[in-house]
Structure 1
Amino acid sequence: MQRIHVIGGGFAGLTAAVTAAESGAQVTLHEAHHTLGGRARTAEGPYRINEGPHALYNGGPHWTWLARRGLLGPVAAVPLLEGTRFRFRRDGVSRRTPPLGMLRLARRSARHAPVDADYLGWAGGQVGEEGARAAAHYMGVALFHHDPGSLSAAFVQERFRRAAALPPEARYPVGGWAQVVDRMAAHARNLGVRVETTARIDAPALAALARTGPVIVATSLDAARTLLDDPALTWDSGRTALIDLAVRTRRGDAFVVSDLDAPGWIERFSAQDRTLAPAGEQLVQGHVPIAPGAPKADGVARAEQLLDLGFDGWRDRVTWRREALATGRTGAVDRPGTTWRDRPSIIRGDGVFLAGDQVAAPGLLSEVSFNSGIEAATLALKAAERRTDTGADLRSA
Structure 2
Amino acid sequence: MRKITIIGGGFAGLTAAITAAEAGAKVTLHESHHTLGGRARTAEGPYRTNDGPHAIYSGGPHWTWLKQRGLLGALAPLPALEAAKIRFHHRGALRRVPPLGFLRQSFRTAEQAPVDVDFRTWATGLAGPDAAHAAASYSGVALYHHDPGALSARFVQERLHRATSIPAEAHFVKGGWGQLVERMAARAWELGVRIETSSRIDALPVGDGPVVVATALPSAARLLGDPSLTWESGRTVLFDLALRTRKGDPFALSDLDAPGWVERFTTQDPGLAPAGEQLIQAQLPIGPGESKADGIAHAERLLDLGFADWRERTVWRREAVSNGRTGAVDRPGTTWRDRPAIDRGDGVYLVGDQVAAPGLLAEVSFTSAVEAVSLALRAERRRKALDLKSA
- Do residues 264 (structure 1) and 260 (structure 2) align? yes
Equivalent-residue separation in structure 2 for 1:383 and 1:13 (angstroms): 19
Query: What TM-score, normalized by structure 1, do the two folds share?
Result: 0.97
Equivalent-residue separation in structure 1 for 2:232 and 2:28 (angstroms): 30
Aligned-partner residue type, residue 191 of structure 2: L
Question: 1:156 aligns to what?
Answer: 156
Equivalent-residue separation in structure 2 for 1:313 and 1:391 (angstroms): 72
Q: CA deviation at 1:232?
A: 1.1
Equivalent-residue separation in structure 2 for 1:66 and 1:187 (angstroms): 11
- Do residues 50 (structure 1) and 46 (structure 2) align? no
| 331, 335, 340: which one aligns with 1:335 | 331
Q: CA deviation at 1:9?
A: 0.3
Question: 1:90 aligns to what?
Answer: 90
Q: CA deviation at 1:288?
A: 0.2
Q: CA deviation at 1:391?
A: 5.2
Mapping for residues 278-317 of structure 1, pairs under 5 Å: 278-317=274-313
Q: Counterpart of 1:238 in 2: which secondary structure?
A: strand
Equivalent-residue separation in structure 2 for 1:211 and 1:386 (angstroms): 17
Question: 1:372 aligns to what?
Answer: 368
The CA deviation string for residues 168-205 of structure 1, in whole angstroms up to 9 with x for no partner, is 111000011100000000000100000011111112xx
Q: CA deviation at 1:41?
A: 0.2
Q: Counterpart of 1:328 in 2: which secondary structure?
A: strand
Question: 2:104 aligns to what?
Answer: 104
Question: 1:346 aligns to what?
Answer: 342
Equivalent-residue separation in structure 1 for 2:45 and 2:388 (angstroms): 53
Equivalent-residue separation in structure 2 for 1:292 and 1:106 (angstroms): 28
Question: 1:33 aligns to what?
Answer: 33
The CA deviation string for residues 224-252 of structure 1, in whole angstroms up to 9 with x for no partner, is 11110111101110000010000000000
Equivalent-residue separation in structure 1 for 2:159 and 2:78 (angstroms): 19
Aligned-partner residue type, residue 324 of structure 1: A
Is the Cα contact below 8 Å between 1:173 and 1:179 reproduced in 2? yes
Mapping for residues 207-226 of structure 1, pairs under 5 Å: 209-226=205-222
Equivalent-residue separation in structure 1 for 2:281 and 2:361 (angstroms): 18
Is the Cα contact below 8 Å between 1:237 and 1:329 reproduced in 2? yes
Is the Cα contact below 8 Å between 1:119 and 1:154 reproduced in 2? yes
Is the Cα contact below 8 Å between 1:210 and 1:352 reproduced in 2? no
Is the Cα contact below 8 Å between 1:4 and 1:384 reproduced in 2? no
Q: Root-mean-square deviation (CA), in Å? A: 1.1
Question: 1:357 aligns to what?
Answer: 353
Query: What TM-score, normalized by structure 2, do the two folds share?
Result: 0.98
Q: Counterpart of 2:72 in 1: which secondary structure?
A: coil
Which 5+ residue runs of structure 1 have no aligned equivalent? none
Is the Cα contact below 8 Å between 1:119 and 1:149 reproduced in 2? yes
Equivalent-residue separation in structure 1 for 2:178 and 2:145 (angstroms): 25
Q: Counterpart of 2:208 in 1: which secondary structure?
A: coil
Which 5+ residue runs of structure 2 have no aligned equivalent? none
Question: 2:191 aligns to what?
Answer: 191
Q: CA deviation at 1:319?
A: 0.8
Equivalent-residue separation in structure 1 for 2:356 and 2:368 (angstroms): 7
Q: Percent identity at matched positions?
A: 65
Aligned-partner residue type, residue 129 of structure 2: E
Equivalent-residue separation in structure 1 for 2:134 and 2:114 (angstroms): 19
Equivalent-residue separation in structure 1 for 2:36 and 2:276 (angstroms): 31
Q: Counterpart of 1:87 in 2: which secondary structure?
A: strand
Q: CA deviation at 1:389?
A: 4.7
Equivalent-residue separation in structure 1 for 2:380 and 2:289 (angstroms): 44
Equivalent-residue separation in structure 2 for 1:389 and 1:195 (angstroms): 30
Is the Cα contact below 8 Å between 1:210 and 1:351 reproduced in 2? no
Q: CA deviation at 1:386?
A: 3.6
Question: 2:4 aligns to what?
Answer: 4
Equivalent-residue separation in structure 1 for 2:282 and 2:136 (angstroms): 18
Equivalent-residue separation in structure 2 for 1:108 and 1:59 (angstroms): 16
Equivalent-residue separation in structure 1 for 2:69 and 2:290 (angstroms): 43
Question: 1:383 aligns to what?
Answer: 379
Question: 1:322 aligns to what?
Answer: 318
Report how many aligned residue pairs link the two structures: 391
